[in-house]
A and B are shown apart, each in its own frame.
Chain A
Amino acid sequence: MKKNVYFSILAFGCAMLLGRPSLGQVRVGGRVTDEANAPIAGATVSIKNTGSQAITDDAGLFTLRDARPGMAVVVSAVGYSATEATVPTSGPFHIVLSQRQTQLDEIVVVGYGSMEKNKITSAIANVKAEDFNQGNINNPAQLLQGKVAGLSIVVPQGNPNGAFNIRLRGLSTLGANTQPLVIIDGVIGADLTSVDPNDIATIDVLKDGGAAAIYGTRGSTGVVIITTKTGSRERAAVTYNAYGSAEQLDRSLPIMSRSEYLANGGTDYGGDTDWMDAITRTAHSHVHNLSLSGGSGQFDYLGSFNYRKIDGIVNRTGNEQLNGRLNLTQRALGDRLTLRLNLALNSRDAQLGFDDVFRSAIIMPPTAPITATGADYAAYGGYFQNRAHELFNPVAIIDQNRHDQQHTRAIYNLQGDLKLLEGLTASARVARTDEKIGNGKYLSRYSLYGSGLDRKGLASQGSYQDRTDLFELTGNYLRRFGKLDFNLLGGYSYQRFLSQHAFTEAGNFLTDEFSYHNISAARDFADGLAKGESFKESSKLIAFFARANLGYANTYFLSATIRREGSSRFGTGNKWGNFVGLSGGVDIGQLADIPRVDQLKLRASYGVTGALPEQSYLSQQIYGPGSTLSYFLYNDRFTPVYSPQSNPNPNLKWEKKEEVNVGVDVALFDSRLTATLDVYNRHTTDALIRLNVPVPPNLYPTTVLNAGELRNRGFEAAVVGEIVQRADFGWQARLTYATNSARVISLSLGDIQYGTRDVGGLPAPLTGNVIRVQEGRPIGQMIGWVYEGVADDGSYIIRDIDQNGQINEQDVDIIGRGLPKGEFGLGNVFRYKAFDLNVFFRGVYGHDLINLHRTMFEQVSRIATYNLIKTKHFDPAYKGPVAYNSHYVERGSFIKLDHLTLGYTVKLPARSLLSTARIQLTGQNLFYVTGYSGVDPEPRYSYDNNVLAPGVEPLNSWVTTRTFTLGANFTF
Chain B
Amino acid sequence: MNPKTGLRALCLGALLVPAVSCTDLDERLFSQLNNENFLKNEEEVLSALGAAYSGLRTFQKFDNMWTVYCTGDEAVVPGRTGGDWAGDGQDQQMTDHRWTVNNRFFRGSWEQFFAQVNACNRLIYQLEQLDAGAYASYISEVKVIRALWYLWLIDFWGNVPIVDRFDVAPDYLPATSKREEVYRFIEREVLDNLGNLGREKSAATYARADYWTGQAILAKLYLNAEVYTGTPQWQQALAACNAIIESGPFSLANTYGENFASKNENSPEAIFAIPFDAIYTQWDWILPLVSLHYSSQQTFNMTNGPWNGLSVQTDFFYLYEEDDARKHHNFLWGAQYTASGEPLLDPGYERDPAVDPDGAHIHFTPTFNSLYNTARQSGVRVKKWELEMGNNGFLNSDFAVFRYSDILLMKAEVLWRLDPADPQALALVNQFRTRAGVAPFNSLTEARMLNERGRELFLEGWRRSDLIRFDRYNDATALRPYVSERHKRLYPIPYDQINANPNLIQNPGYN
- How far, in Å, is A782 (CB) from chain B's closest CB? 15
A856 at the interface (CB under 8 A from B): yes
Residues in A neighbouring B351, C-beta threshold 8 A: 265, 864
A602 at the interface (CB under 8 A from B): no
Distance A389 CA – B44 CA, assembled complex (angstroms):
44
The chain A residue with its CB closest to the CB of B392 is A529
Asked whether A5 and B15 contact (CB < 8 A) given A475-B10, A697-B118, A751-B501, the answer is yes
| Contact B87 A765, beta carbon cutoff 8 Å | yes
B354 at the interface (CB under 8 A from A): no
Interface string of A615-632 (1 = CB under 8 A from B): 011011111100010111
Asked whether A884 and B122 contact (CB < 8 A) given A426-B6, A540-B25, A695-B110, the answer is no
Residues in A neighbouring B447, C-beta threshold 8 A: none
Counting chain A CB atoms within 10 Å of each CB, which of B33, B119, B504 scores highest? B33
| Contact A389 B84, beta carbon cutoff 8 Å | yes
| Contact B500 A753, beta carbon cutoff 8 Å | yes
- Give 8 pairs: A residue, B residue, CB < 8 Å, sorted on A: A1-B19, A387-B347, A420-B6, A529-B282, A638-B277, A638-B280, A695-B115, A697-B168
| Contact A700 B115, beta carbon cutoff 8 Å | yes
- 3 A-B pairs with least C-beta separation: A882-B83, A767-B87, A768-B88
Interface string of B71-91 (1 = CB under 8 A from A): 000000001111111111111
Distance A622 CA – B46 CA, assembled complex (angstroms):
17
| Contact B304 A454, beta carbon cutoff 8 Å | yes
- Of the four ranges (under 10, 10 to 19, 20 to 34, 35 or more), the interface on chain A belongs to 35 or more
Distance A881 CA – B502 CA, assembled complex (angstroms):
40
Asked whether A645 and B47 contact (CB < 8 A) given A542-B22, A696-B114, the answer is no
The chain A residue with its CB closest to the CB of B284 is A630
| Contact A494 B22, beta carbon cutoff 8 Å | yes
| Contact B347 A386, beta carbon cutoff 8 Å | yes
Asked whether A633 and B206 contact (CB < 8 A) given A336-B1, A645-B32, the answer is yes
Asked whether A4 and B14 contact (CB < 8 A) given A622-B32, A751-B502, A856-B83, the answer is yes
B161 at the interface (CB under 8 A from A): yes
| Contact A535 B30, beta carbon cutoff 8 Å | yes
A298 at the interface (CB under 8 A from B): no
B60 at the interface (CB under 8 A from A): no
Distance A265 CA – B50 CA, assembled complex (angstroms):
56
Number of residues of chain B lying within 8 A (CB) of chain A: 104
- How far, in Å, is A754 (CB) from chain B's closest CB? 7
B13 at the interface (CB under 8 A from A): yes
| Contact B281 A622, beta carbon cutoff 8 Å | no
B275 at the interface (CB under 8 A from A): yes
- How far, in Å, is B106 (CB) from chain A's closest CB? 13
| Contact A631 B54, beta carbon cutoff 8 Å | yes
- How far, in Å, is A491 (CB) from chain B's closest CB? 9
| Contact A639 B499, beta carbon cutoff 8 Å | no
B421 at the interface (CB under 8 A from A): no
Counting chain B CB atoms within 10 Å of each CB, which of A566, A633, A638, A700 scores highest? A633
Q: Which of B50, B163, B282, B305 contacts A632 (CB 8 A)?
A: B50
B134 at the interface (CB under 8 A from A): no
A-B contact count (CB 8 A): 290
Distance A494 CA – B22 CA, assembled complex (angstroms):
8
Interface string of A660-704 (1 = CB under 8 A from B): 000000000000000000000000000000001111111111000
Asked whether A767 and B86 contact (CB < 8 A) given A697-B173, A699-B118, the answer is yes
Asked whether A617 and B204 contact (CB < 8 A) given A642-B47, A865-B347, the answer is no
Q: Which of A623, A635, A881 contacts B83 (CB 8 A)?
A: A881
- How far, in Å, is A871 (CB) from chain B's closest CB? 19
Interface hit among A54-62, A275-283, A567-575, A846-854? A567-575
The chain B residue with its CB closest to the CB of A7 is B14
| Contact A630 B17, beta carbon cutoff 8 Å | no
The chain B residue with its CB closest to the CB of A701 is B111
Task: Give 15 A-B pairs besides A389-B84, A492-B18 with Cβ atoms closer than 8 angstroms.
Answer: A473-B14, A620-B35, A623-B38, A624-B32, A638-B280, A639-B46, A641-B50, A643-B48, A694-B174, A694-B501, A751-B173, A859-B82, A865-B82, A865-B347, A881-B80
| Contact A418 B6, beta carbon cutoff 8 Å | yes
The chain A residue with its CB closest to the CB of B279 is A528
| Contact B204 A630, beta carbon cutoff 8 Å | no
A861 at the interface (CB under 8 A from B): yes
Q: Which of B33, B282, B297 contacts A622 (CB 8 A)?
A: B33
Residues in B neighbouring A634, C-beta threshold 8 A: 46, 49-50, 53, 208
A792 at the interface (CB under 8 A from B): no
Residues in A neighbouring B111, C-beta threshold 8 A: 695, 701
| Contact B32 A881, beta carbon cutoff 8 Å | no
Distance A537 CA – B31 CA, assembled complex (angstroms):
7
Residues in B neighbouring A791, C-beta threshold 8 A: none
Interface string of B412-456 (1 = CB under 8 A from A): 000000000000000000000000000000000000000000000
| Contact B48 A642, beta carbon cutoff 8 Å | yes
Q: Which residues of B472-508 have CB atoms within 8 Å of chain A's CB atoms?
A: 495-497, 499-502, 504
| Contact A542 B348, beta carbon cutoff 8 Å | no
Residues in B neighbouring A651, C-beta threshold 8 A: 170
Distance A9 CA – B50 CA, assembled complex (angstroms):
61
- How far, in Å, is B139 (CB) from chain A's closest CB? 16
Residues in A neighbouring B50, C-beta threshold 8 A: 630-632, 634, 639-643
- How far, in Å, is B370 (CB) from chain A's closest CB? 12
Distance A755 CA – B82 CA, assembled complex (angstroms):
34
Interface string of B267-296 (1 = CB under 8 A from A): 000000001010111100000000000110
The chain B residue with its CB closest to the CB of A428 is B13
Q: Which of A426, A568, A633, A699 contacts B207 (CB 8 A)?
A: A633
Q: Which residues of B88-123 have CB atoms within 8 Å of chain A's CB atoms?
A: 88-91, 100, 102, 110-111, 114-115, 117-119, 121-122
A946 at the interface (CB under 8 A from B): no
| Contact A632 B53, beta carbon cutoff 8 Å | yes
| Contact B206 A636, beta carbon cutoff 8 Å | yes
Asked whether A861 and B280 contact (CB < 8 A) given A5-B11, A426-B7, A695-B497, the answer is no
| Contact A861 B54, beta carbon cutoff 8 Å | no
Interface string of A750-786 (1 = CB under 8 A from B): 1111110100001011111000000000000000000
- How far, in Å, is A698 (CB) from chain B's closest CB? 7
A421 at the interface (CB under 8 A from B): yes
Residues in A neighbouring B3, C-beta threshold 8 A: 420-421
Distance A824 CA – B52 CA, assembled complex (angstroms):
58
A333 at the interface (CB under 8 A from B): yes
B322 at the interface (CB under 8 A from A): no
A534 at the interface (CB under 8 A from B): yes
Residues in A neighbouring B6, C-beta threshold 8 A: 418, 420, 426
B26 at the interface (CB under 8 A from A): yes
| Contact A630 B54, beta carbon cutoff 8 Å | yes
Q: Which residues of A551-583 have CB atoms within 8 Å of chain B's CB atoms?
A: 566-569, 575
Residues in A neighbouring B191, C-beta threshold 8 A: none
| Contact B13 A473, beta carbon cutoff 8 Å | yes
Residues in B neighbouring A31, C-beta threshold 8 A: none
- How far, in Å, is B353 (CB) from chain A's closest CB? 13
Asked whether A754 and B83 contact (CB < 8 A) given A537-B31, A622-B33, the answer is no
| Contact B10 A631, beta carbon cutoff 8 Å | no
A644 at the interface (CB under 8 A from B): yes
A480 at the interface (CB under 8 A from B): no
| Contact B279 A765, beta carbon cutoff 8 Å | no
Q: Which of A538, A624, A632 contacts B33 (CB 8 A)?
A: A624
Asked whether A751 and B26 contact (CB < 8 A) given A630-B50, A641-B47, A865-B347, the answer is no
| Contact B279 A527, beta carbon cutoff 8 Å | yes
| Contact B347 A620, beta carbon cutoff 8 Å | no
A8 at the interface (CB under 8 A from B): yes
A129 at the interface (CB under 8 A from B): no
| Contact A699 B122, beta carbon cutoff 8 Å | yes
The chain A residue with its CB closest to the CB of B504 is A694
Distance A628 CA – B500 CA, assembled complex (angstroms):
30
Distance A754 CA – B498 CA, assembled complex (angstroms):
10
Residues in B neighbouring A257, C-beta threshold 8 A: none
Distance A267 CA – B348 CA, assembled complex (angstroms):
10
- How far, in Å, is A175 (CB) from chain B's closest CB? 18
Asked whether A451 and B304 contact (CB < 8 A) given A336-B1, A566-B25, A636-B206, the answer is yes
